Structure 1
Amino acid sequence: MQAQDQELRRDTLPRRVLLATDLSCRCDRAQDRALRLAERWGAKLFLLHVLENEKEQELPSWRRERSAQEMLAERQIRAATRDRAINAEAIIRRGSPPEVLLRTAEELDCDLIVTGIARGGTLARAILGTTVERLVHRAPMPVLVVKNRADRAYDHLVVASDFSASSAHAFRQALRLLPDARMTLLHAYRVPFEGFISKEANRDEFLQAARSQCADFLAGIPAVKDRLDRLACLIEYGSPDELIGAYVWDNEVDLVVLGTHGSSGAFDILIGSTAERLLETLPCDVLVVREPSSLQAVRAAMGATQAGA
């Protein structure tokens, strides 16, 4: 019952946003984006800083209730929210950053986690491979990975879709969170067994099938009807990661939205390597939307039925 209530509540605008930060300048971009979104939605913003493998220290009497990091976080929040109508709270906790972030987000019943990554070199890969990667693997709520400065609201989104129920859920989340943005629904298709059959002879057939799937996909999302003037559907031949990357580089895309599971391995973000490559290489922000528990249950039931057959 609690899980159902959480999923129903997430059909409304986010009320609680968690920002994961190390309080350094490299997290300024994620902080600015989180502030902008919280202000727009009227949501409460939690700024969480995790002290990793740090022991309690002897402190002067006037600091025994609050650590230096807590005071720094509070000062940072006050400075960032000055003259802005935002309800914000700083939280300092100790432990493994991914574990503490996930536990805190669930304890506070947050609707979105916002985080950033270091840019360039092995440091970016190391951070992506520890905290961010675990968040997108396990967080039940969407995770926004911020790379760029929040100079403007998200204006142009790309939603990667394979027309599965999971990608439909991700698309609905994009429509709910950012209804005023221009959106491009991008679908990549391939001709099966290209090494054995003629790709040229069968490509048009699979393109027409993809277009039919797209029409059915959009018909199943009522919210699309009010946004047709700001929606473009793009169906292209090729691999998803290459097409998404090329489109983002060639167009002014602010955000890419990815679902956590799909009907094809290329979009299976929890298992495949497509998401990792996109998170590392895309020049824009990325929103990762995990499929809801109801879809996971359906997937498990289908798997059990197929195994029994």
Structure 2
Amino acid sequence: MGLRYHNILIAVDGSKEADWAFLKAIEIAKRNNAELSVVHVVDNRSLATLTPIDSTLYDQNQKFGDELLSNYKDRAEKNGVKVQTIIQQGSPKIAITKNIAPRIKADLIICGATGLNAVERLLIGSVSEHIVRSSPCDVLVIRTPKDAEEEN
């Protein structure tokens, strides 16, 4: 095992918190000479309640995820980090810890302290909280500087 990380998973959702976490993930990957897996989970579960289901919303969510990951991949490569991108549909809470992390043999998961889905966070807890509770490996939850200032 050792003290170095080899496979780092960074979960992104388009929020400024995830972007700040990505910047930290780049630095940690560089220090550890680790591969970075940038992961975006397209959560279309709420669209299933719409009748009739409008497939353009699914397409828009997928396109947003593809563009998001492409941008992050370019930024990681410009920083000299070996990177792969993973996009998957489903619940971010389940997909990240139960599916993606074991599949890529992640030894560190990095995520922002909060994300885009405030309603879900209020009702059933945040994605980052779930990752901490159910992760098969180390987890680093990143707070943005703005969050830190608000708490003091």
Please tell me the TM-score bracket, short chain as reference.
Answer: 0.7 to 0.9
Q: Is 2:111 aligned against 1:258?
A: yes
Work out which of the residue numbers 169, 175, 181 in structure 1 matches 2:34: 181
Is contact 2:41–2:89 with CA below 8 Å preserved after alignment? yes
Distance 1:217 1:253, change over 3 A: closer
Counterpart CA distance in 2 for 1:252 and 1:275 is: 19
Distance 1:206 1:277, change over 3 A: closer
Distance 1:233 1:267, change over 3 A: farther
Counterpart CA distance in 2 for 1:178 and 1:249 is: 18
User: Aligned partner of 1:172: which letter?
Assistant: L
Is contact 2:17–2:113 with CA below 8 Å preserved after alignment? yes
Q: Is 2:147 aligned against 1:283?
A: no
- Deviation, 1:254, is 0.4
Distance 1:290 1:210, change over 3 A: same
Distance 1:176 1:225, change over 3 A: same
Q: Is 2:68 aligned against 1:213?
A: yes
- Structure 1: give runs of 5+ residues left out of the alignment: 1-149, 298-309
Counterpart CA distance in 2 for 1:242 and 1:225 is: 31
Distance 1:213 1:280, change over 3 A: closer
Q: Which has the larger share of helix?
A: 2
User: Aligned partner of 2:10: which letter?
Assistant: V
Q: Is 2:47 aligned against 1:196?
A: no
TM-score (norm 1): 0.40
Is contact 1:260–1:267 with CA below 8 Å preserved after alignment? no
Is contact 2:41–2:95 with CA below 8 Å preserved after alignment? yes
Distance 1:251 1:233, change over 3 A: closer
Distance 1:226 1:250, change over 3 A: same
**What secondary structure sits across from 2:84 in the alignment?**
strand
Distance 1:154 1:216, change over 3 A: closer
- Deviation, 1:152, is 4.6
1:89-109 Cα distance to aligned partner (Å, 9 max, x none): xxxxxxxxxxxxxxxxxxxxx
- Deviation, 1:166, is 1.2
Counterpart CA distance in 1 for 2:37 and 2:120 is: 17
Work out which of the residue numbers 8, 13, 17 in structure 2 matches 1:166: 17
Alignment coverage as a number of residue pairs: 143
- Deviation, 1:181, is 0.9
**What secondary structure sits across from 1:193 in the alignment?**
helix
TM-score (norm 2): 0.76
Distance 1:267 1:234, change over 3 A: farther
**Cα RMSD (Å) of the superposition?**
2.9
Structure number with the bigger relative contact order (C-alpha 8 A, sep ≥ 6) is: 2
